Structure 1
């Protein structure tokens, strides 16, 4: 722009990026509106980092930092206490991307309180093993591993191997497998296909409980699928960490399973217990399931874009076709389909008439550069743009780890403990956190059989109250039993659809005229939990 803020066309501008990123500019000179745009991608490097976009015109330069996130590092098999002088202690690190796919050939560096520094690269399964020796004196080791811009810190006490029993009552115990669909490992090949197993223990106040004793097994392996859990080889109990979490990894063998055909069991207790046989008696237990797949097929999902009414006339229904084919593109019959639904974010705002139809609008978000404590929002944070949603308020799902529990967690950005219910929407009597959007705001089900017909198709539907329409963005994921590779799953993302007749009828207010999540402008802060899961969470419940 010139001094009068008039757009200047045909001005040469060069756009540059660093750190392995790729940028495709719209041109080398500004258009009639004085703008040059570019499409930025991270390139082959999936590590967390800050990319700098530099625009140069003559002697003038402007820069914009863009934060790349998504790489996640977890540690399993961590003993919270080891004996003095014990050698060969192992920690298995797993590096995955935002979708849970392993990241291989990334440089790792780890050390124990600044000593025993070792380095290497993640293997084909995204794993790297750190071994260390315990000193011969009582001490505490802080073990730090860094890879792909992510750092994991574990604390190990060296001395007496006796760990104090847990005195806090465990209110909630759960075990989760991520992802819950994994490929077989072929005979004679390196074990590359693995999933992370995570047990979580919480008190009545949703506070994580440390030092819960845990033993993972296959619950008797009733289907004979086999596979190995990394934590079983040392033959020792695991202990939950300061986040109430105990982790391991599961690697399937060569057999594929029925849907949910592999059971992962977490035996647990507040005190030490004898390690049971696989599927044997244990003090307490929680389970989760997964599917091991092998057949090389392809899955896709789509819709005709039509919206109907539910049988009660109170809901909207949208249908989707899931199609499964073999490597030659032929329809596959009898393949079982498993759908799952994730609510990514919700919107705040309202509809108003523009004279010809109802249009969605609102009061938007406010993104303070500092938290209420006075600490600045991380300089590398990329503040969201609202160009795709107009002026509605945009709020990420408050349930950052998607475990369905309204938790308090240590936010790594501000360094304070905060509730997931950031907008205090549940701040009623009696006090109880409520996560938004509610999981029950949208349901998914199978119409008819859940196995593919002669055309290789299964029909799914999502259903939701009419007042929620357009105020939630969802992701519909489908997995096919026996389907290998990334093509064994497919996903579909969109905002919940609205009925065109309701939008075009200015004689009646649409049922979704006011967002059920509020209409007020809202301060929105970047929050990151100890597991590295982030979201821009809104703070105004109105």
Structure 2
């Protein structure tokens, strides 16, 4: 039993238990049939503490010293049970009963777990049945029941290689509770000369309901090691987590600590409470990265008030409300425990006209900070908010407590809520006065909301407000409340590609959508369209000097054209109306099908607020049709985005010969051509104008 005593001492180092005792008898199973009661030594013994009270275990940890029980005479298997409380700490004196099936026999060493270590062992034999079979052991304490299984196997095939010793190490003694880090456990098997042994079966487990372990294998590798990567799981509370390595009769346990839980806010509202009046403490629980810890239970208590237990919301907030005891001139200490962390605040109980709060020293440095300077509007289904923190330091950079602070916000159309309301907040022992701000459903311009904090070293007078706060006592900062995306832009680069069939050109454009703070807005539906403003007539010629194709004479920045003609479909209805078919081609030129536009991939912006568009058109149409892209986005407050820049299309378009017709078309751009085609000596596909080469828009020549 020395090995198990050593194992017990290791587990006891990982868990801090409270030794309580009970006077109950455990029942076991075994012998000739499943469920047969077995009473171990110590049956009927009195409670170790003499109190006779029943200890309730929140969970049980059951570890077997090996995976199988051979059919050899005298062969045994040992189960070690540890009772733990809700904080995963060992708790002694819990009643434990056993049952076993498949004709195996279990003999417990007692009926309650040890008052110091919280552990209890039980010895298992195969009984009179020598047949190979699976066996199920059930361990019960109160309403908690755990089941483990093992096999009875033939001794000729179950002789596992044995190590003389095991070592178990961890990559670090602790890990923060952000959930992004892991601990690596390494178990090493050695012989009597401390040589590493390969092929030794080792089982790695964790004694925590939330944690998980990913092992490298079930046997040691060539270096005699088995490793396991431990993740703390969903539970981000501060707590110890024990790792257990078992090989045959050998067992080793080491533990690491999960850390990082913090009460980032414990604000008393109001800061001084009258005897018999109602007050509250606003708590915020966060992890090591200051991320809110939602769904964590917080227990709050104090002398003379009613205790309560609650759960943090999505922002990690919990508000405890209390009625101050009838004890003017005293201080009420309120303790909160959550996520394995404890927080204590003192609430002054007013006596007459005195607040019982001493005047604060005059701070030498004052800072007003926000947990974020951009926050989203709130709807019926959201709870967006930020923390507001005022920090005070003296000339030695030491915190200044008891500074009185009033918080307020302007520029939000009175739609938001300050957590402390109109009440004064006192700076705590760390020199910090904290409250929260929850915006309403109205967004703001960039930096359009001003957060204000008025401070004073003594009590505010009834007539004091933030509005009349002296300039030297007023601190301000700004934030932006965002809602729908407010702006959309479109742009491109200098490249042009070729379509899949090699017969078309593809020109890509990028669309960006942001909110009023300039942050990208994801998942915004993009709707593009392209308008063809007109077409050109002419041809390209080879210039042997610069060795490239050119157009002449030059009627615009794009080069050689003999005529520029507006779109014949003036009202864009696709029907030839009176006077529209100017060139007599029996169709409306340019054809709408000359150019297509599409969103590449998803039709909504990605996480960076970006979507990609592309124009595709036959290579022989390049340079002969003018286009303008319009992009709208669902919910965007600004006008649509245009490429190229210019006024939107106004229908009906300007007809041939109309005043300003040329200026109208100047706001459009020619379909781009391939630079490689322009530089190649062979004639490009677009060498002659698709709609003719004459200088007149009234014919098709």
TM-score (structure 2 length as normaliser): 0.40
**Helix, strand or coil at the partner of 2:333:** strand
Aligned to 2:400: 209
Whether the 8 Å contact between 1:214 and 1:267 is mirrored in structure 2 is: yes
Q: Select which of 353, 359, 362 maps to 1:169.
A: 362
Deviation of 1:284 (Å): 0.5
Aligned to 1:111: 301
Deviating above 6 A after TM superposition, structure 1's stretches of 4 or more consecutive aligned residues are 451-456
* CA pair 132-250 structure 1, distance change in 2 beyond 3 A: same
For 1:58 and 1:269, locate their aligned partners in 2 and report how far apart those are by CA, in whole Å: 69
Q: Select which of 225, 230, 233 maps to 2:419.
A: 230
**Helix, strand or coil at the partner of 2:225:** coil
Bigger Rg, which one: 2
**Helix, strand or coil at the partner of 1:158:** strand
For 2:361 and 2:425, locate their aligned partners in 1 and report how far apart those are by CA, in whole Å: 18
- 1:338-417 to structure 2, matched below 5 A, reads none
Aligned to 2:384: 193
Whether the 8 Å contact between 1:16 and 1:54 is mirrored in structure 2 is: yes
Q: Name which structure has the greater RCO, CA cutoff 8 Å, separation 6+.
A: 1
Whether the 8 Å contact between 2:348 and 2:357 is mirrored in structure 1 is: no
Please state if 1:91 is matched with 2:281: yes
Deviation of 1:272 (Å): 2.3
Deviation of 1:338 (Å): 7.5
For 1:30 and 1:182, locate their aligned partners in 2 and report how far apart those are by CA, in whole Å: 52
Whether the 8 Å contact between 2:205 and 2:243 is mirrored in structure 1 is: yes
Deviation of 1:455 (Å): 7.2
Aligned to 1:272: 459
For 2:242 and 2:467, locate their aligned partners in 1 and report how far apart those are by CA, in whole Å: 53
Is there any run of 5+ residues in structure 1 with no aligned partner, and where? 298-329, 340-450, 457-481, 484-542
Deviation of 1:229 (Å): 0.7
Deviation of 1:212 (Å): 0.8
Whether the 8 Å contact between 1:163 and 1:211 is mirrored in structure 2 is: no
Deviation of 1:94 (Å): 1.6
Q: Select which of 469, 487, 499 maps to 1:281.
A: 469
Whether the 8 Å contact between 2:406 and 2:424 is mirrored in structure 1 is: yes
Aligned to 1:44: 234
* CA pair 200-192 structure 1, distance change in 2 beyond 3 A: same
Aligned residues, how many? Answer: 309
For 2:297 and 2:369, locate their aligned partners in 1 and report how far apart those are by CA, in whole Å: 28
For 1:48 and 1:294, locate their aligned partners in 2 and report how far apart those are by CA, in whole Å: 36
* CA pair 82-99 structure 1, distance change in 2 beyond 3 A: same
Please state if 1:246 is matched with 2:427: no
Aligned to 2:344: 153
**Helix, strand or coil at the partner of 2:280:** strand
For 1:148 and 1:4, locate their aligned partners in 2 and report how far apart those are by CA, in whole Å: 45
* CA pair 260-21 structure 1, distance change in 2 beyond 3 A: farther
**Helix, strand or coil at the partner of 2:420:** helix
Aligned to 1:124: 314
Whether the 8 Å contact between 1:178 and 1:197 is mirrored in structure 2 is: yes
Whether the 8 Å contact between 1:165 and 1:270 is mirrored in structure 2 is: no
Whether the 8 Å contact between 1:77 and 1:91 is mirrored in structure 2 is: yes
Deviation of 1:228 (Å): 0.9
Whether the 8 Å contact between 2:368 and 2:453 is mirrored in structure 1 is: yes
Please state if 1:15 is matched with 2:204: yes
* CA pair 334-115 structure 1, distance change in 2 beyond 3 A: closer
- 1:444-523 to structure 2, matched below 5 A, reads none
Whether the 8 Å contact between 2:293 and 2:312 is mirrored in structure 1 is: yes
Aligned to 2:121: none
**Helix, strand or coil at the partner of 1:116:** coil
Please state if 1:142 is matched with 2:322: no
Deviation of 1:91 (Å): 1.0
For 2:360 and 2:217, locate their aligned partners in 1 and report how far apart those are by CA, in whole Å: 65
For 1:92 and 1:148, locate their aligned partners in 2 and report how far apart those are by CA, in whole Å: 16
Q: Deviations over 1:169-204 (max 9, x none)?
A: 210111221244433211x33x62222221111111
Deviation of 1:72 (Å): 2.5
* CA pair 163-200 structure 1, distance change in 2 beyond 3 A: farther
Q: Deviations over 1:382-420 (max 9, x none)?
A: xxxxxxxxxxxxxxxxxxxxxxxxxxxxxxxxxxxxxxx
**Helix, strand or coil at the partner of 1:332:** strand
Deviation of 1:115 (Å): 4.5
Aligned to 2:512: 332
* CA pair 269-55 structure 1, distance change in 2 beyond 3 A: same
For 2:448 and 2:241, locate their aligned partners in 1 and report how far apart those are by CA, in whole Å: 43
Deviation of 1:256 (Å): 3.3
Whether the 8 Å contact between 1:81 and 1:156 is mirrored in structure 2 is: yes
